[in-house]
Amino acid sequence: MAKSETPLLDELEKGKWPSFVTEIKKAAEKSPMANDLLHQLELSYKDRIGHWKHGGIVGVKGYGSGVIGRYSDRPDLFPNVQAFHTIRVNHPSGWFYKTDALRSLCDIWDKHGSGLTNMHGSTGDAILLGTTTDHLQTCFDDLSEAGFDLGGSGSALRTPSCCVGPGRCEWACVDSLDLCHHLTMNFQDEIHRPMFPYKFKIKISACPNDCVASIARADFSVIGTWKGDIRIDPAEVEAYASSDLNIQREVCDLCPTRCMEWDGRQLKIFNEDCTRCMHCINLMPKALRPGEEQGATILVGGKAPIVEGALLSWVLVPFMKLEPPYEEIKDLILRIQDWWSENGRSRERLGELIKRLGMRTFLRALDLPATPQMVKAPRTNPYVFFWPEDIQQEVK
Amino acid sequence: MTTDIGPPDYKTMIPPVVQRNYGKWLFHEILKPGVLMHVGESGEALYTVRAGSPRLLSTETIRAICEIADTYCDGYLRFTSRHNIEFLVSDKDKLEPLLEELARRSYPVGGTGHSISNIVHTQGWVHCHTPATDASGPVKALMDEIHEYFVTMTLPAHVRIALACCLNMCGAVHCSDIAILGIHRTVPKPDNSRVPNLCEIPTTVASCPTGAIRGDMKNKTVTINNEKCMYCGNCYTVCPAMPIADPDNDGISIWVGGKVSNARSTPKFSKLAIPYLPNNPPRWPEVVDAVKNIIEVYAAGARKHERVGEWIERIGWERFFSLTGIPFTDKHIDDYEMATETFRSSMQFKWR
């Protein structure tokens, strides 16, 4: 038997979890590109270092975004991955697919690329992993013919994504699927033609469980919520009480605001103190439901550490109703992007710009009121700026 | 050439049972690990079977998944925000046969409730130019070892694991219960012959969080103050002539205690647990052991519904280090901009 050329990677075909090495080998049976990828990766495992050259600017006509160029630093050994570009394909809202659509994506990719994908990239796109420069345009043309478009990359609006929402969740307070699709269609130009100081991401979660991690992974986070009372079904509460759920310990004692009372028969919620964290609803989905007046909280600024440190998005608009045609939220996004485009430095994320210029400047530019919901606590230092009009002018 | 058509409309991709019950779901139950039942106000039910995926998929595997979905799900499926595959079953009679078929094909079914679901991860040596480690390899090595937690629901709460191959932290590393992060430990080396042609010097200078880079305008290059550099690699991202990768010193750091949901406590960042472990392909045994240790100590000590970060905040960080046996070092003490906010300005602490 011939000695394996990929002894290190072969180890990763063992074990119970589905193996990415098996996936690359499957593709390698048909694609010389995938075969060279496999062998270059084996070299990386041996050398403990990546073997891709820095950067690479490639794309398709009419767009400045959507393709990530990549070149091997060992084309002498692996000529079929000399160029190995990624194409980001905008996924349908909530990653729902009909098999015929997925098959047409596979047919196009087998024709133009390595036969390898990521389902999906972290931002949400379907990732087509590895093709040559001369296939980019023809691949795009075929994708477009089949009803698919590219997603975002570079200093553009990136592909918006959302949780499964009303498609399959009783807690959805906004139509995350529809809003995501609507915003994606509305901002096609901003996605395909980079025009901002840096990247800008929108993610929509339909409740505070935040199943797309909007608060951590988006500059503009839309998270569903409600006003008014949590709806209680007393019969179902009783059913939980006679199950193995300990309502006092597991529900009431873990409520962050201690706004619940359980006397062994009846559950009371003092809704004015509830911060809608979802814990009680998560534990008793049959008995408790979000309130009927539904909308979303808009938070801004989330990003990873580079350059100034990681940020979680913070509250900008405590409550906004979200219904088609979504004029209010579209207008807010436009005003934020205008202000950021005007004031942002090169490669400065929205969160960093707000930190640099201050929330008061940002709020004034957007004509939004300051509210206590925006802060965990008021400031502790006395270094307070006042606007000129706050000050009594000199008496003549 | 048609442009700006956007993605396919999701309305053409959702199964009829979803269309009928859209926005009118009443409740759900986890029937067993990896199997959900959602019931609409209409009384109609949708069954979901969640299967693990390596995220990196060949078209051949996608076609195999499509075949399964055609047989059991009328041609409908979806992917989750953690890259799992969900088969959407409207006919209850097809649920067990689907589970049998998935078992035959060795697809792990799980990732629901108090389990460890899929690991959100990045490109690594498969496709990126700035990684300090691989992504797919460590994920496979770890998921093999903690497979039991994917197919059962025995933990105090769900445990989210994420991996990023460099400090860009693509994905969810900064807000996960346990996070694996590729790091460098050596200063990049500017190639003075290439910097003038390949790099924009002001951008390169501005890319440095600690101000370690200065322009050398006379020689059209940059200089690095080695004492101020903490090897983040952001200068290499903007300037190709400053390579930083180093096989012997690159490796992995481990972070703990992050979360994004608002349930009980507010969202939290992950915090440093282990500053450095070596890259040891193909199975990264040091990393796998370290993560397993943290999971086991957490599983033994945390109360029901308590996430890793909530458990640590209850017992205190000094106790986290003594219980896990992880050595605490000077590297754990923040020395970036808001460092003093993380210092202990109180008399309240435990001796171990």
pLDDT for position A1: 58
Q: Contacts of residue B246 in chain A, CB cutoff 8 Å?
A: 49
Amino acid at A391: I
Which residue in the set B147, B234, B281 is minimally distant from A17, CB to CB?
B147
- DSSP string across B315-333: H-HHHHHHHHTPPP-GGGS
Nearest by CB to B13, which of A12, A98, A307? Answer: A98
Query: B150 to chain A: which residues are within 8 Å by CB?
Result: 17
Cα angle B58, B60, B62; round to 5: 75
HSE toward the beta carbon, residue A387, CA cutoff 13 A: 7
Distance CA B282, CA A4 (A): 15
- From CA B350, how far away is CA B352, in angstroms rounded? 5
Chain-chain contact of B236 with A54 (C-beta, under 8 angstroms): yes
Chain B residues in contact with A94 by the CB 8 A cut-off are: 10, 78
Task: State the Cα–Cα distance between residues A308 and A305, nearest whole angstrom.
Answer: 6
Nearest CA to B147 out of B119, B124, B172, B121 is that of: B119
Q: What is the pLDDT of residue A56?
A: 81
**pLDDT tens digits for range B166-178:** 999 999 899 999 9
Q: CA geometry: angle at A382 spanning A379 and A384, to 5°? A: 85
User: Is the distance from CB of B162 to CB of B173 less than 8 angstroms?
Assistant: yes
Contact between B63 and A167 using a beta-carbon 8 Å cutoff: no
- Determine phi and psi for A260, rounding to 5 degrees: -120, 145
HSE (side-chain half, CA atoms, 13 Å) at B143: 33
Q: What's CA A221's distance to the chain center, in Å? A: 9
- Closest-CA residue of chain A to B242: A54
Which residues of A are less than 8 Å from B234 in CB distance? 306-307
H or E element, residue B64: helix B59-73
**Residue B348 in this model has a pLDDT that exceeds 90:** yes
How far from the centroid of its chain's Cα atoms is residue B102's Cα? Answer: 25
- Chain B residue with the nearest C-alpha to that of A39: B126
Chain A residue numbers with beta carbons less than 8 Å from the beta carbon of B77 are 97, 99, 102
* Chain B residues whose beta carbon lies within 8 Å of the beta carbon of residue A158: none
ipTM over 0.90: yes
Q: What is the pLDDT of residue A2?
A: 77
Mean pLDDT of B58-86: 98
Among the partner residues A54, A92, A306, nearest to B168 by beta-carbon distance: A306
For residues B202-222, one letter each, b for 16 or more C-beta atoms within 10 angstroms of the residue's C-beta and e for the rest, the string is eebbbbbbeebbeeeeeeebb
Torsion of CA A216, A217, A218, A222, to 10 degrees: -60
Q: Quick count: other Cβ atoms within 10 Å of Cβ A146?
A: 15
Q: Which helix (H) or strand (E) holds A294?
A: strand A293-300
Q: What is the dihedral of CA A128, A134, A139, A140, to 10 degrees?
A: 100
pLDDT at B115 exceeding the cut of 90: yes
**Is there a contact between B76 and A192 if contact means CB atoms under 8 Å apart?**
no
Long-range contacts of A336-341 (CB under 8 A, 24+ apart): A336/A220, A336/A300, A336/A366, A337/A190, A337/A196, A337/A200, A339/A365, A339/A366, A340/A196, A340/A197, A340/A200, A341/A195, A341/A196, A341/A197
Distance CA(B230)–CA(B209), nearest Å, equals 9
Distance from CA of B171 to the nearest CA of A (A): 5
Residue pair B243/B189 in contact (Cβ under 8 Å)? The answer is yes
pLDDT tier, B47 (very low <50, low <70, confident <90, very high otherwise) = very high
Inter-chain residue contact B6 with A90, CB threshold 8 Å: yes
Q: Is the peptide bond prior to B282 cis by the omega test (within 30 degrees of 0)?
A: yes
Residue range B214-232: average pLDDT? 95
Q: Which of A20, A63, A313 to mutate to test the interface with B (most CBs of B within 10 A)?
A: A20
Q: How far is CA B115 from CA A237, B168, B334, in A?
A: 25, 27, 32
* Cβ within 8 Å of residue B122, ≥6 positions away: A122, B128, B131, B135, B163, B164, B165, B170, B171
First-last CA distance in chain B: 67
The pLDDT score that the predictor gives to residue B129 is 94
Contact (Cβ atoms closer than 8 angstroms) between residue B116 and residue B295: yes
- A232 CA to chain B: closest CA distance, Å? 13
- Identify the CA nearest to B56 among candidates A5, A205, A46, A9: A9
* Nearest by CB: B81 against A98, A163, A188: A163
pLDDT of A55: 77
- In sequence order, the 6+-apart residues with CB closer than 8 A to the CB of A289 are A170, A171, A230, A231, A233, A281
* B289 confidence band (pLDDT: 50, 70, 90): very high
Angle (CA) B298 B301 B303, round 5°: 100
Question: Residue B272 has which token pair?
Answer: 């440093």
What is the arrangement of strands in the sheet containing B45-51, beginning at the earlier edge strand?
A96-98, B76-79, B85-89, B45-51, B35-40, B25-32
What is the rounded CA–CA span in Å between residue B267 and residue B257? Answer: 10
A324 chain-B contacts, CB cut-off 8 A: none
| B54/chain A closest Cα distance in angstroms | 6
pLDDT < 70 regions, chain A: 1, 395-396
Q: Among partner residues A17, A109, A120, which is closest to B143 by beta-carbon distance?
A: A17
Q: How far is CA A284 from the centre of its chain?
A: 28
Size of interface A-B (CB pairs under 8 A): 344
